Amino acid sequence: MPKWLNDAVFYEIYPQSFYDTNGDGIGDINGVTEKLDYIKSLGCNAIWLNPCFDSPFKDAGYDVRDYKKVAPRYGTNEDLVRCFEEAHKRGMYILLDLVPCHTSEEHPWFVESCKDERNPYSDRYIWTSHCFERADGLPCVGGEAERSGTYVLSFFKCQPSLNYGFYEVKQPWQLPMDHPACLATREAMKDVMRFWLDKGCDGFRVDMAGCLVKNDDEQLGTSAVWRDVRAMLDAEYPEAALLSEWGNPRRALKAGFHMDFCLHNEVAAYHTLLRAYDGAIYGEVRGEDKSYFRRDSGASIVPFVKQYQEDLAATKNDGLFCFITCNHDTMRPRANLTPDELKLAYAFLFTLPGAPFLYYGDEIGMRYIKLPTKEGGYFRTGSRTPMQWNGGANLGFSAGDTDSLYLPVDPAPDAPTVAGQEADPDSLLHTVRAILALRHAEPELWANAPFSVHFAEEGSRLFVFRRGSLYVAVNPGAVECAFDAPGARAILFSIGSCTVAEGSGRVTLGAQSFAVLRSTP
């Protein structure tokens, strides 16, 4: 694992909405560069940048038309190289978003692949042998191309699936993984990776990483592809980091990824942490909210702890099991947690093992805003609104016309802003900075340092865990809790109230409180 990951804290940026430096209403790469000092000031030393490549933007850039060209609306390749250089000067790292499963239907490879006459790209995508032949249960489109065949889709209609082969070949048109055309797809993706690594990027977040090879229920074929990619990185770019969108750290880390993050929707026990009500991730608030961090939910941490301990034990030798505050595909946590609840949730997430991921704007508690769909966002659009920097025009996001903005800014009169929260010592922003500063200062809080459970019981709101010699305690409920913490002495950090009885190691944690304590053996 690249050494820098042990102390990495990531900030995810949706470039459209971060900072507009040229007044055209949309964020740009220079906007990221200008805000590097701000990002560093949060305690984030690494960035995951959502796709910034040339695209028709039918899925916000996850439909790539040219993997090697920055989308003109964001700037130029030179701007991105400058961004890498400025990040490195500050000891920061940037991961680009690699989209290997599909391209845009406008990618030149696909345009060639649609032609009737055979050419080097005919098998770059997955085609059946006849215009009326469906794709054996895989989603597909027919009737659009000169070529007689239907092609397989990977996500939206605009995203034809690249061909990495079939683990089990069941039809004449299904190619095995070691077919030269499938190996050529794999090499083409390695070529894209080398292109950006040579320009100074520090690795990739990989979109839909578990879906490359088809007829591959156990993902054995897909895992083999990634192990091959990882071998290339280890040999040629040993400091490059590989993060998957797999949602199954046990599999992803065995397949060669250094990190996988847990998507709240896939494992119920993780879902219960921040957004436990039905359908929340799909943009609707339904049912009773049982999130652990809701003051009045009554939820215990036990279901989380059971699942997490097993997963952590199964993965800790392979890589990092990471958590996110949210991402561009989920609702923002502010949708169901108050700023006070968010302080506790973030303090907890930022003291766990693995590398934490903070989504832009979550540090000030930006709201989820219901909006009509934009660029294939649908319900996700509500989590993609412009960053709120200050109380000026367009909340400081852009000097352009309000009508030209990529998405409207939060119209609420009390919309949180960075400037507003910098001036308020009790703000969420200050809490984020303080907890991340503590994390960096205490190697026992770093990604690979030990974790064990000290107290977690059904019927109690309290959770106490150990990171080496430290105790980390959280009480999201409305009632004070106490626990024994042998050897506990100094309180290194707290939110709310925390006291340690002299000599006895008895710790009292007030309602809605969090503390990190140092102990002596």
Distance CA 39, CA 46 (A): 9
Pattern 226-245, ligand NOJ, x by CB under 6 A: -------------------x
Asked if 159 contacts 62 with a C-beta cutoff of 8 angstroms, the reply is yes
The radius of gyration of the chain from alpha carbons, rounded to an integer in Å, stands at 24
User: Is 368 a residue that touches ligand NOJ (CB under 6 A)?
Assistant: no
Interacting residue with ligand NOJ among 208, 262, 281, 515 (CB under 6 A): 208
Supply the minimum distance, in Å, between the C-beta of residue 23 and ligand NOJ. 27
Interacting residue with ligand NOJ among 207, 260, 341, 410 (CB under 6 A): 207
Phi/psi for 69 (5° steps) reads -135, 125
Q: Which of residues 112-171 bind ligand NOJ (CB under 6 A)?
A: 155
Supply the minimum distance, in Å, between the C-beta of residue 184 and ligand NOJ. 22
Helix, strand, or coil (residue 428): helix
Q: Which of residues 96-115 bind ligand NOJ (CB under 6 A)?
A: 99
Q: Degrees (nearest 5) of the Cα angle 358, 72, 11?
A: 10
Supply the minimum distance, in Å, between the C-beta of residue 44 and ligand NOJ. 19
Measured torsion, CA atoms of residues 471, 323, 432, 91, in degrees rounded to the nearest 10: 100
Nearer to ligand NOJ, 155 or 173 (CB): 155
User: Is 329 a residue that touches ligand NOJ (CB under 6 A)?
Assistant: yes
Nearer to ligand NOJ, 39 or 153 (CB): 153
| Residue whose beta carbon is closest to ligand NOJ | 62
Supply the minimum distance, in Å, between the C-beta of residue 99 and ligand NOJ. 6
Asked if 172 contacts 211 with a C-beta cutoff of 8 angstroms, the reply is no
Supply the minimum distance, in Å, between the C-beta of residue 37 and ligand NOJ. 27
Asked if 421 contacts 433 with a C-beta cutoff of 8 angstroms, the reply is no
- 479 is written with which tokens? 């009632």
User: Is 57 a residue that touches ligand NOJ (CB under 6 A)?
Assistant: no
Asked if 91 contacts 47 with a C-beta cutoff of 8 angstroms, the reply is no
Nearer to ligand NOJ, 30 or 50 (CB): 50
User: Is 410 a residue that touches ligand NOJ (CB under 6 A)?
Assistant: no
Ramachandran area for residue 73 (φ above 0: left; ψ -120 to 50: alpha; else beta)? alpha
How far, CA to CA in Å, does 183 sit from each of 163, 187, 188, 210? 9, 6, 9, 17
Supply the minimum distance, in Å, between the C-beta of residue 60 and ligand NOJ. 6
User: Is 270 a residue that touches ligand NOJ (CB under 6 A)?
Assistant: no
Element of type H or E holding 227? helix 220-236
Q: Which amino acid is at 172?
A: P
Asked if 509 contacts 460 with a C-beta cutoff of 8 angstroms, the reply is no
Supply the minimum distance, in Å, between the C-beta of residue 189 and ligand NOJ. 14
User: Is 59 a residue that touches ligand NOJ (CB under 6 A)?
Assistant: yes
Strands 470-475 and 463-467: antiparallel
User: Is 62 a residue that touches ligand NOJ (CB under 6 A)?
Assistant: yes
- 417 is written with which tokens? 């802003």
Nearer to ligand NOJ, 59 or 340 (CB): 59
- 308 is written with which tokens? 């997490």
Nearer to ligand NOJ, 59 or 202 (CB): 59
Nearer to ligand NOJ, 104 or 512 (CB): 104
Which positions lie near ligand NOJ, rule CB under 6 A? 59, 62, 99, 155, 207-208, 245, 328-329
